Amino acid sequence: MTDIWSFLLQTLTASGTAVLLLALKALFRDKLSPRWQFAVWGVLALVLIFPAGTGGRYALVNWPYAVELLKSVMTGEFGSLTQVTVPVPIPQKVRLDSWEDWLFLLYTAGVVFCLLRYLVSYTRLRLALRKKLPGKDAAVLETADRFGLHACPAIEVDGLPSAFICGVFRPVLALPAGEPADEKMLLHELLHLKYKDVLWGLLICLFRCIHWCNPLLWYCADLAGNDLESLCDQRVLERLIGEDRRDYGRILLSMADEKYARMPGTSSMANGGKNIRRRIEAIARFKRYPAGMAPVSVCVILSLTVPLLLGAKAQALEENHSFFPDTPAAIMVSARSVRCTTYAGALDAYAKALLKEYIPYRAMCAPLEEQNALMDAFRREDGSWEWKNSGLPGMTRMDSGYKIYNLTPVETDAYEGLLALELWEPPEGETATKYRCWLAVQTVRAEKQDGRWVVLPQEDFWTAESEWGSLQIIGGHEENLPAWEYQAETEDFALKCRWQTTAYVDSFRVNQNFMFTSTDFDCSPLPSGTFTSTSCQELFAYYTGTPENMDRYTHIAVSCCACREEEPRPEQSVPYIGDGSGSSTSGESWGSKPLENGWESPVFLSGGGGGGYETAPDRPGYYAADLYLNGILDAELTLLPVERRPVR
């Protein structure tokens, strides 16, 4: 926690968990034994230990949205995003140029004050324990041997109201001077020693200090300490029989310690007199808990832990904000607080922002430094929310979706590719061609910034005419968009292979009834989406010899396969000599063509590819190819890339 907003996010997340736990503990009060009543607090401890909003996941309530909205309303700032990196306050460089800095400084000072207060109290207690008298080691050892427990040094202290364990690494058992050592009292403290209850008390004390200004969490800390004492009572009763059990309640009355109640570093943290009655009532219920509740208790705790720790994935921003105020500030805050957790999700949000011309979708995947400018564009006087300055050369066809070509990793956590959107009409000055469509194309880059994926346009939009009638049905190579090219030459021929990939987050929905079936494109962003990717390769033979020698060739065949750069050149299978072609999803292909009189160059030999990838497929390092002319092996070739980057 580095500012007051990150503390607010952490403490609100913990408070939501605490409210749920309190309700469930009240519901199962007489059903769960003290062992499970205390174990339930482990769920809250885990929520307090893990930074809130880890991985863009929320627990119970969309707390990041609430915090972001409050921050934006109070400060007018939209270019930041509240994050909790660690669950403890870590002051940054002191600026103190805003009321938020002063408030965080006050909060941090409160944490330090609480820690020092507890430290001073513990130090004074240790000094008081130095004024010790000879302890009752014999009685302590006898009790430990009888119940199979480990003992620790015992001391007697004048004026001590009750016995307790003090210390974690070198514990001592402090006993009231001049009073007889009751076996049940010694057993209680030795069980505290066995189960490291002093350490649990220190953890509770630490949470008190970090969340000192949250009364709900202080209340929960008190209850957790009380449940720890009830658990120790349960363990004592499990070792006693008959009259000793009934007498244990009387012993509790003598163990009340208002002077050192909840002292950190000791087992007296919940021995205050006001808690004794509740503990005696719990003793009366000993062994009256329903049979078979242990498995039920485990299920209850697991059912709480999973949703509270893992939370829910970030949800797509809906245009119908039924749960949020329908104001520009609230909508933009909701968009900013939804993190794109995958690069596919960020590119999906960017593409759909362009298709809908809706600024909040862009805010989901825009860098934080652009958020204020987006807010200014969104909050216009006419109340319109469309994105009029998106840079598109025309209106896009939303029902055709989008595709990203040649998506390639360029750095760690960075990808680049060509975003293609279908236009309703040709650009100005161009004409429509039957069975073809026009595309708006832009190079985009997705990279990870501050734990969220963002999209950075690398150029202005340009247009290209597709060889297909619709972007939605493009299933193979798009000849008018860049592709990776590989080439090798012989005396009279040059072999060229074009390799191209496409990627998109599948948002098409099939609507079917008894009469017809239709397909719609859902424009709601999927911030944690994954890509459906395909690859396609096409192999051509270009004649480079003299025209008079063309008639010498009556047949051409090629067998080739894609290889990684570090792989040795593999052996090729002999292609079918005739008229045909084929390919496999592993990058192997072959083509065989008769060359009739008057044949023309280039000769298309084969095409195909694979699909179903969730990540961008690896680009081949080279292609190994065998060239057959007139049915005879003419050359063994290695096709090397001639373009390292797909450019226009």
| Residue 315 belongs to some domain of the structure | no
Q: Which of 3, 106, 10 is nearest to 66 (CA)?
A: 10
Helix, strand, coil content of the chain in percent (nearest 5): 40, 25, 40
| Residue 307 belongs to some domain of the structure | no
Domain holding 159, by residue range, is 98-212+247-269
Residue-level pLDDT at 404: 92
Locate 245 and state its tokens: 């059990």
| Residue 621 belongs to some domain of the structure | yes
Q: What is the pLDDT of residues 142-198, one digit of tens each?
A: 888 888 888 888 888 777 777 888 888 888 888 887 777 788 888 888 888 888 888
Residue-level pLDDT at 454: 94
φ/ψ region of 598 (left if φ > 0, alpha if ψ in -120 to 50, else beta) reads left
b vs e for 344-379, b when ≥16 Cβ sit within 10 Å of the residue's Cβ? bbbbbbbbbbbbbbbbbbbbbbbebeebeebbeebb
Q: CB under 8 Å, gap of 24 or more: what pairs does 238-246 form?
A: 239/147, 239/187, 240/184, 240/187, 244/184, 245/283, 245/286
Placement of tokens 């408030």 in the chain: 103
CA distances from 103 to 77, 110, 213 (A): 17, 11, 12
Burial-class residue 526 by CB neighbours within 10 Å (0-12, 13-18, 19+).
buried
Most confident of 61-75, 236-250, 376-390: 61-75
| Residue 33 belongs to some domain of the structure | no
Residue-level pLDDT at 646: 47
Residue-level pLDDT at 278: 67
Cα–Cα distance for residue pair 556/642, rounded to 1 Å: 23
Residue 440 · residue 423 · CB < 8 Å: yes
Over residues 94-106, mean pLDDT: 79
Residue type, position 68, single letter: E
Q: Quick one: 412 and 555 in the same domain?
A: yes
Over residues 120-124, mean pLDDT: 83
Residue-level pLDDT at 158: 77
Which of the four pLDDT bands, split at 50, 70 and 90, describes residue 543?
very high
CB atoms under 10 Å from CB of 401, counted, come to: 25
Residue-level pLDDT at 133: 62
Which of the four pLDDT bands, split at 50, 70 and 90, describes residue 323?
very low
Residue-level pLDDT at 635: 92
Residue-level pLDDT at 343: 92
| Residue 234 belongs to some domain of the structure | no
Q: Give the DSSP H/E element, type plus range, for residue 200.
A: helix 197-210
Q: Quick one: 428 and 575 in the same domain?
A: yes
Which of the four pLDDT bands, split at 50, 70 and 90, describes residue 301?
low
How many domains is the chain built from? Answer: 2
Q: What is the pLDDT of residues 47-96, one digit of tens each?
A: 888 887 765 555 566 777 788 888 888 887 788 778 888 888 887 666 67
b vs e for 527-556, b when ≥16 Cβ sit within 10 Å of the residue's Cβ? bbbbbebbbbbbbbbebeeeeeebeebebb
| Residue 275 belongs to some domain of the structure | no
| Residue 279 belongs to some domain of the structure | no
Q: Is the pLDDT of residue 349 over 90?
A: yes
The gap from C-alpha 572 to its chain's centroid, in whole angstroms, comes to 45
Placement of tokens 């009888």 in the chain: 146
33 or 112, higher pLDDT: 112
Put simply, whether the predicted model's pTM sits higher than 0.85 gets the answer no
Residue-level pLDDT at 322: 39
Cα–Cα distance for residue pair 589/606, rounded to 1 Å: 7
Which of the four pLDDT bands, split at 50, 70 and 90, describes residue 2?
confident
Q: What is the pLDDT of residues 23-43, one digit of tens each?
A: 878 877 766 778 878 888 888
433 or 489, higher pLDDT: 489
Q: Is the pLDDT of residue 294 over 50?
A: yes
Q: Which of 112, 115, 90, 94 is nearest to 6 (CA)?
A: 90
Q: Which of 139, 132, 269, 285 is nearest to 192 (CA)?
A: 269
The gap from C-alpha 314 to its chain's centroid, in whole angstroms, comes to 9
What are the residues whose beta carbons fall under 8 Å from the beta carbon of 243, sequence distance 6 or more? none
Average pLDDT, the chain: 80
Over residues 502-510, mean pLDDT: 84
| Residue 200 belongs to some domain of the structure | yes
